[in-house]
Chain A
């Protein structure tokens, strides 16, 4: 087996000052192989962005971390300062939701790209812009972020993330602030670039449809715990965890016109109010007494992991 680009195992994160002994991320496991596209989905407050930050080695100093985050087989937390800096700068590229706040508003796009390329890149600012589909390079290089459209800015951000030839790109809701047609273009671009450059992609999103278009494997999170993971099409066609099934039943879709949607009752709690055991149990129709114990993430069919004592029955199709 090849070494995964990113391997997260038994990862728990606490913020002692704010939430005391509560694991805001609780025993997370996630592997991404070279050139693989993996999605993390869940509602806001499920810890998916925090996991993205942990994977990028960008957790704030107030975080108390246990477990392993390995990059190309080496534990990030045993690395020296220099090595970690190199990892964050060159090994991992990051694309966030809001390009306007990610870019420096006072610097031209050219200056920002040159600054990154100078640190070592197989490409040039011009070539990077062409790669992300901004062919009017002269104008874009001279422009400041506010002079570009939202879609153009997001492309610039992707160019910056790719500048140092990373092995892993983490894209956290990269298209949420964009219009549908622009969103479709940016998603297509991400997929094209990924196929060309073979970087591994960690895609964080709340949109199941978008995830199904981009990721081959999906990890579903709820309240800081991984509830289920496996091949994306399998998970969406035959969800096993009641939370995944609930998300699907609540989604408005373009394909099927439903008369009413089935919302999941209640809402995601703040970490201070997480219940013990399975954290979804208070919103779950299948919950019984034993759910007060924490279900372990265990194999459930080929390539799938599940953490649930009372999953959705296998033959049952989703509503």
Chain B
């Protein structure tokens, strides 16, 4: 995007004309085609698109996990991929976190809840054992779980509780950016409502940048300040969420909006 008025703040993360090609057995697929996107501090950006549109690849590229074929990713104004892999992961691992769709497959079922939440602190060598124990208790309470749950095994928790654990783990390193990839798609309606409310609450109390990846426009509209629509590896439309919803410009956005089921109430 070309911003006419340069924003006063530096974006937390910014993709500039990023191209990602995947190669397999002689085939090559352009997963991202000249994608530019930025997330400002404290802002929630929604990334919407169908499977195969490149939204998850973009999320991973922004987190330093997929080296782009061309273009650059800047994290707090530093070129992420100009750094070596170790330096890159040290920078981003300490300051970003990811929440996945299905906590049952993204969290180790054999660990205790406490161990799962403590893990990033341990890896990043933040605090001693006692400080970590206190931090874990505080983190669990901040996502609405009793601190005593730390001793329970992951497999004993419900899906909604586990997604709260995943959020507590993501918050452990006090990141400036959290990427949530379909954070509520695996959850039931009433549990989804709990997690969506929690995400909004966390965002407003922690001044955290949030990138929400989803195929569900209802979820994006509830959470995001700004929405980017992806189609076939490109960002085809981007703007304030309410504008994208009420006055979509690109045909694909219109198709997406028309396809979403609407509650008919008499």
Q: Interface on A for B, CB 8 Å cutoff?
A: 43-44, 150, 179-184, 187, 206-210, 212-213, 232-234, 236-238, 246-248, 250-255, 257-258, 260-264, 267-268
Tell me the smallest distance from the CB of B203 to a CB of chain A, in Å.
Answer: 13
Residue B192 at the A interface, CB < 8 A? yes
Contact of B264 with A213 in the complex, beta carbons under 8 Å: yes
Q: Interface on B for A, CB 8 Å cutoff?
A: 50-51, 158, 160, 188-194, 196-197, 200, 215-219, 221-222, 242, 245, 255-266
A180 to B257, CA, bound (A): 9
A180 to B255, CA, bound (A): 10
Contacts A43-B189, A180-B215; is A212 near B196 (CB within 8 Å)?
Answer: no
Q: Which A residues touch B194, using CB under 8 A?
A: 263
Q: Which of B190, B194, B257 is the most central at the interface, judged by chain A CB atoms within 10 Å of its CB? A: B190
Q: Which residue of B lies closest to A45 (CB)?
A: B188
Question: Could you show 22 A-B contacts with beta carbons less than 8 Å apart?
Answer: A150-B51, A179-B50, A180-B260, A181-B50, A181-B259, A184-B259, A187-B261, A207-B261, A209-B261, A213-B261, A233-B264, A237-B266, A250-B193, A251-B189, A255-B262, A257-B221, A257-B242, A261-B193, A261-B222, A263-B194, A267-B190, A267-B191
Contact of B263 with A251 in the complex, beta carbons under 8 Å: yes
Tell me the smallest distance from the CB of B161 to a CB of chain A, in Å.
Answer: 8
Q: Which A residues touch B242, using CB under 8 A?
A: 257
Tell me the smallest distance from the CB of A315 to a CB of chain B, in Å.
Answer: 15
A251 to B222, CA, bound (A): 11
Contact of A255 with B263 in the complex, beta carbons under 8 Å: yes
Q: Which of B192, B215, B255 contacts A252 (CB 8 A)?
A: B192
Contacts A179-B50, A180-B216, A206-B188; is A261 near B196 (CB within 8 Å)?
Answer: yes
Q: Which residue of A lies closest to B220 (CB)?
A: A252
Contact of B262 with A209 in the complex, beta carbons under 8 Å: yes
Q: Which of B245, B262, B264, B265 is the most central at the interface, judged by chain A CB atoms within 10 Å of its CB? A: B265
A183 to B218, CA, bound (A): 15
Q: Which residue of B lies closest to A182 (CB)?
A: B50
Count: A-B pairs, CB below 8 Å: 112
A237 to B193, CA, bound (A): 20
Contact of A261 with B197 in the complex, beta carbons under 8 Å: yes
With A180-B259, A184-B259 already in contact, 20 other A-B pairs whose C-beta atoms are closer than 8 Å:
A43-B189, A179-B51, A180-B50, A180-B215, A180-B260, A181-B256, A183-B259, A183-B261, A184-B260, A210-B261, A212-B261, A233-B264, A250-B193, A251-B218, A254-B260, A254-B262, A255-B262, A255-B263, A263-B190, A264-B190
Tell me the smallest distance from the CB of A248 to a CB of chain B, in Å.
Answer: 8
Tell me the smallest distance from the CB of A211 to a CB of chain B, in Å.
Answer: 9
Tell me the smallest distance from the CB of A18 to a CB of chain B, in Å.
Answer: 18
Q: Which residue of B lies closest to A267 (CB)?
A: B158
Contact of B266 with A234 in the complex, beta carbons under 8 Å: yes
A216 to B255, CA, bound (A): 26
A274 to B257, CA, bound (A): 40
Q: Which B residues touch A255, using CB under 8 A?
A: 262-263
A183 to B219, CA, bound (A): 17
Contact of A250 with B192 in the complex, beta carbons under 8 Å: yes
Which 6 pairs across A and B sit closest by C-beta, in order of nearness? A209-B261, A184-B259, A237-B266, A263-B193, A261-B193, A250-B193
Contact of A212 with B263 in the complex, beta carbons under 8 Å: yes
Contacts A180-B256, A181-B259, A213-B264; is A246 near B221 (CB within 8 Å)?
Answer: no
Tell me the smallest distance from the CB of B165 to a CB of chain A, in Å.
Answer: 15
Contact of B196 with A252 in the complex, beta carbons under 8 Å: yes
A209 to B216, CA, bound (A): 13
Q: Which residue of A lies closest to B257 (CB)?
A: A254
Q: Which B residues touch A150, using CB under 8 A?
A: 51
Q: Which A residues touch B218, using CB under 8 A?
A: 251-254
A206 to B190, CA, bound (A): 11
A236 to B263, CA, bound (A): 8
Contacts A247-B189, A263-B191; is A253 near B263 (CB within 8 Å)?
Answer: yes
A150 to B50, CA, bound (A): 12
Q: Which B residues touch A251, using CB under 8 A?
A: 189, 193, 218, 263
Q: Which of B189, B219, B265, B266 contacts A250 (CB 8 A)?
A: B189
A233 to B188, CA, bound (A): 22
A213 to B188, CA, bound (A): 20
Contact of B262 with A258 in the complex, beta carbons under 8 Å: no
